[in-house]
Amino acid sequence: MPLDPPAPDALRAVAKRYGLGLSDADITSFDPFVSGLLASWDTVEELYAASAPVRPSVRGSAPTTPPTRTAPGT
């Protein structure tokens, strides 16, 4: 699932919350890094989707009682 880069206002709020004191220029400077990072995550997801095994369809229903377990050595 593609992620949208955070808006500058969201970055300002996080910076304020953690006392980072970032200027508008600082926040703007993060944009290329964030966009590149999120794009790499999208690429990883696309590669996984292309190679992920297909989940087999399961017919029937779940058992109504749990399986019986025995203690080791008995």
Whole-model pTM over 0.95: no
Helix, strand or coil, per DSSP, at residue 9: helix
The per-residue pLDDT for range 21-33, each reduced to its tens digit, is: 999 999 999 888 8
The better pLDDT of the pair 2, 7 is held by: 7
User: What value does the CA radius of gyration of the chain take, rounded to a whole number of Å?
Assistant: 24
| Cα separation values, 25 from 14, 21, 38, 51, 67, Å | 15, 11, 21, 41, 62
Handedness of CA 21, 28, 17, 9 (dihedral sign): positive
